[in-house]
Structure 1
Amino acid sequence: MSRRGLAAVASVLDQAASSATNILVLVLAARLSSAAGFADFTMVYVTFTVLLGLNMAYVGQTLVLEKPGPGPGADRLAAACRSGLAFTGAASAAVGAVLALLGLLLPGATGRAFLALGLVLPLVLLQDGLRYCFSALRAPGRALAADALRLVCVVSALLLQPEGAPAGRLVLVWGLSALPALALGLWLLRPSVRGARTDLRPYLRRGYLGQRFVIEFAVGNGSSQLAVLGLGVFATPLAVGALRGATTLFGPLNVLFNSANSFGPPVVGRASGKRGVVRLTALMGGALAVTGAAWAAVLYALPERAGRALLGDTWRAASALLPATGAQYAVMGLGTCALLTLRVLNPKATLSLQVVFSLLSVGLLLGGYAVWGVAGAAWGLALGSASKAAAGWLRVARLPVPEPGPEPVGAGPADQVRTA
């Protein structure tokens, strides 16, 4: 296998390790907690997910656009990695202090859980930020090593916790278990950035590229995550736990969606003309949709005992949402490939779709909950994803045949999978 092929495999495996970590954290927390305790943990974990996405958009996506090269190019890339990590550390410490203060003000177990998140936030964001440094340095194998260690440590640490452990303790254990992977990642990164200059000023300038990426993330992934959090504030935290538990079961599909977004543009870009691009992405979308429906059928057929082994007390509420969540993931496969097509043929066509239909999904989520409770919220998300997919393919059909020229293959943060 070529060096480029090995790098692609390492990148896919790294994404799988990262996704598996997120899935197993939620599964183990659900098994260890009561339904109310898992709801508290989920509120905190959704908050972390939003902050993780914001950091990915503001720092990570700009970092991976840096081009390596000999001489000054290599020095610039090393400086960008050092500066990105330094900014992530400073920003996460500031946000962590705010979360810790919020935790002191909130009552009960929820407050203690937010306090714990504030204390460990710099560790988990720095550890995740190393992935983008290794990606920019074209060293996905190092990212895989660190993320594999992270997976082993967090699973081992959570398995040692007693049943009924409060959410605050679980959050603290989850965060502190990132220390070995963070230390390994910094050690692996050090030879590549030794002696490079650290400069935080670009991250604070007006017009910095990451500001655009944050907007795209905010109206996409962030808006739906915050809408789910809103259910916990204005409705009940149990609704958040049920929705999060159902989407956790579809975590393996996120690996496929993210891999399609990461490696799809350069592959699709080699197709012959608009017709060749559309034919290829339509086949990919159909395959992802069928995979999503098949996975939903497998989960729906699980016996009660197996389901409770996965999600504990949360299984009963989450299993009722499987038809809706399965439908959502099936149409997400089609929508992902519609956006991928637009990225290759006309990348400027995606932002308006993201804004309009992400906000529509939020409205359908909240409106569905008002009419039909948690099941209505899940079907609202499915309807929103279906609307986005239909609009995306309609936009593809209306695109004129592009003039010959270089084809953009970059993928921004708006290409990441949207989950509730």
Structure 2
Amino acid sequence: MTPASPYRGPGTRAAVLCSVADQGVAAFTNIAVLIVAARLSSARDFAVFSLVYMAGTVLLGLAGGYVGQALVLLRGDAARDACRSAVAFTGYASCAVGCTAAAVLALLPGDTSRALAVLGLVLPAVLSQDGLRYCFSALRLPHRALAADLLRLAVTLPALALQPEGSGAARLVAVWGLSALPALALGGFLLAPRLRGARGAPRQLLRRGHLGRRFAVEFAVGNGSSQLAIIGLGLLTGPLTVGALRGAAALFGPVNVLCNAATAFGPPLLQPVSGVRRTVRRTGALAALLLLAVAAWTVLLTALPGHIGRQLLGDTWAAASALLPATGSQYAGIALATSALLTLRVLRPRSTLPIQVVFSLAAVTFLAGGFILGGALGAAWGLCLGSALKAVALWLRTASVSNSKERGESSHDRPRPAGLLG
């Protein structure tokens, strides 16, 4: 028998509040890391750090898609067994990938290669700590994820702030990665009692048909493709372009994390909702709230005095501030696309990949074309155009799927003719 949903009554409100608070803590941590790094570094050193930090973000997204997003769709004993498998798989895979990458990159010259090698060494701690958050979401324990993320914040920011001014990118990456260890230890301690007796099978995540493969591909051709394109742009033209784009994106960190959190942690909250119309209404309301947050945040940032901006981003502020209108418009498109993607993830999870492929490749093309025509500002407007077109396509697909589902529900509820009843 399927266990009763733990999201009924007052428990629902508490779970939502803890989930929102957890995403707020994660958002603040991410933006604060970039701001502290920008204040400690020259524009060039921050550009290198931004490039490596973005590479880490891509790896986090791939791991979250492959392991986490499939995990949060499960419930009951199946979720417990899957969590045990996910923890083991993430540990093994991150060690293999990280250590191999570090060994290869350590042989290459340059600050960027050195910082990427350090990222490989800290990758197991970073990916494992983030993976525990998906486990807590699948087990309906968002308050425990919040506790671990609060510890992550409390350790990371002081550790970075204590570094001397002028610290190189490799040192900052090492401090950021190792500061995940206390949160990883706390998360493991809080998770262990819930997994006692669960049967893990990490190899199941490699089996053919694992839904996480599809989600990882969606991330790779969705958010990941644009981020990889920016990384490639930085490697080809120099990291200063990446620094400007990442500086502007860092200021929208809270909005970005909320959008990512809606996709990653929204399904467990929407699954107990009955009826297609109610699901669409809730995600439509989410779209409106996200758009309101993006608009308010964009107005606030564009009105920010220059001296405050320089206190936030240091030497990077001059380049990043020129991109704020374009980046704000891009996040408006991301907000609309996120709410449509969440709707489809609940109603028909396998229906989003074609749209992700087509419009993400289009966004990469717009990014490259915009950079050729107008440098970093052109690249930012190219990303905006790609996000807007993807949002339109996803909502059109949502309308089609919801209409199909409603017709199915209506035909299921309609009495069948007597001749069919025997």
Task: Tell me the TM-score normalised to structure 1 length.
Answer: 0.88
Change in CA separation of 1:81 and 1:343 when aligned onto 2, cut-off 3 Å: closer
Is contact 2:256–2:331 with CA below 8 Å preserved after alignment?
A: no
Q: Does 1:56 align with 2:60?
A: no
SS in 2 for 1:405: helix
The residue that corresponds to 1:108 in the other structure is 110
What SS is found at the alignment partner of 1:157?
helix
Tell me: CA distance 1:294–1:206, structure 2 relative to 1, closer, same or farther (3 Å). Answer: same
1: CA distance between counterparts of 2:396 and 2:198? Answer: 48
Correspondence for 1:153: 155
Following TM superposition, by how much is the alpha carbon of 1:397 offset from its aligned partner in structure 2, in angstroms?
Answer: 5.0
Pair 372,102 (structure 1): closer, same or farther in 2 beyond 3 Å? farther
User: What is the deviation of 1:329?
Assistant: 1.4
Cα distance between partner residues in 2 of 1:156 and 1:398? 49
Residues 254-265 of structure 1 correspond to what in structure 2 (within 5 A)?
254-258=256-260, 260-261=262-263, 262-263=265-266
Greater mean deviation of Cα atoms: 54-63 or 153-162:
54-63
Q: Tell me whether 1:405 sits opposite 2:409 in the alignment.
A: yes
Q: For 1:294 and 1:364, locate their aligned partners in 2 and report how far apart those are by CA, in whole Å.
A: 26
Residue number in structure 2 paired with 1:377: 379
Alpha-carbon distance between aligned partners in 1 of 2:178 and 2:325, rounded to the nearest angstrom: 36
Cα distance in 2, alignment partners of residues 286 and 247 from structure 1: 21
Match of 2:355 among 350, 353, 356: 353
Where does residue 319 of structure 2 map in the other structure?
317
Where 2:222 maps in the other structure, the secondary structure is: helix
1:179 aligns with 2:181: yes
Deviation larger for 191-200 or 11-20: 191-200
The corresponding residue for 2:329 is 327
- What amino acid is the match of 2:62? L
Residues 196 and 344 of structure 1, relative CA distance in 2, 3 Å threshold: closer
How far did residue 343 of structure 1 move? 4.5
RMSD: 2.4
Report deviation, 1:358: 1.0
Deviation at 1:331, TM superposition (A): 2.5
- 1:134–1:142 CA contact under 8 A, matched in 2: yes
Q: One-letter code of the match for 1:405?
A: E
Following the alignment from structure 2 to structure 1, what is the Cα–Cα distance between the partners of residues 229 and 120?
Answer: 21
TM-aligned CA deviation for residue 394 of structure 1:
3.6
Equivalents in 1 of 2:346, 2:389: separation in Å? 21
**Pairing 1:206-355 to 2, within 5 Å after superposition:** 206-258=208-260, 260-261=262-263, 262-263=265-266, 281-343=283-345, 347-355=349-357
Deviations 1:236-277 (A, max 9, x none): 211111111101101121244245444489669958765x76
User: Greater shift after overlay, 161-170 or 105-114?
Assistant: 105-114
Q: CA 1:107–1:378 in 2, change beyond 3 Å: closer, same or farther?
A: same
Q: Which runs of 5+ in 2 are unaligned?
A: 1-8, 411-422
Provide closer, same or farther for how the CA distance between residues 295 and 60 of structure 1 changes in structure 2, counting only shifts above 3 A. Answer: same
Asked if the contact 1:269–1:277 (Cα under 8 Å) also holds between the matched residues in 2, the reply is no
Q: Pick which of 87-96 and 325-334 moved more.
A: 325-334
- Preserved CA contact (<8 Å) 2:214 2:353: no
Instruction: Pick closer, same or farther for the CA change 1:141–1:28 going to 2, 3 Å.
Output: same
Identity %: 58
Task: Please name the residue that 1:41 is paired with.
Answer: 49
Question: Which amino acid letter does the alignment assign opposite residue 59 of structure 1?
Answer: V
**Is the 8 Å Cα contact of residues 325 and 382 (structure 1) preserved in structure 2?**
yes
Q: How far did residue 128 of structure 1 move?
A: 0.9
CA–CA distance in structure 2, aligned partners of residues 40 and 381 of structure 1: 21
Deviations 1:169-208 (A, max 9, x none): 1111111111111111111112122344442221222222
Q: Secondary structure at the match of 1:403?
A: helix
Kept in 2, the 8 Å contact 1:268–1:281? The answer is no
Which whole-Å CA distance do the structure 2 matches of 1:123 and 1:236 have between them?
29
Q: 1:137 to 1:287 in 2, by over 3 A?
A: closer
Supply the distance in 2 between the matched residues of 1:278 and 1:137 (Cα, whole angstroms).
25
Amino acid corresponding to residue 99 of structure 1 in structure 2? A
Question: Quick check: 335-344 or 362-371, which moved more?
Answer: 335-344
Letter in 2 for 1:41: F
The residue type equivalent to 1:189 in the other structure is: L
Cα distance in 1, alignment partners of residues 202 and 339 from structure 2: 36
Q: State the Cα distance separating 1:337 from its structure 2 match.
A: 3.0
DSSP 3-state at the match of 1:227: helix
Residue 74 of structure 2 aligns to which amino acid in structure 1?
A: E
Partner residue of 2:36?
28
Q: How does 1:124-135 map to 2 (within 5 A)?
A: 124-135=126-137
**Alpha-carbon distance in 2 for matches of 1:95, 1:238:** 28
Change (3 A) 1:322 1:280: same
| Cα distance between partner residues in 2 of 1:167 and 1:80 | 36
**Equivalent AA in structure 1 for residue 193 of structure 2:** P
Offset of residue 102 of structure 1: 3.4
**Of 212-221 and 195-204, the range deviating more from structure 2:** 195-204
Matched, 1:17 2:21: no
Give secondary structure in 2 for the equivalent of 1:65. Answer: coil
Q: How many residues align?
A: 399
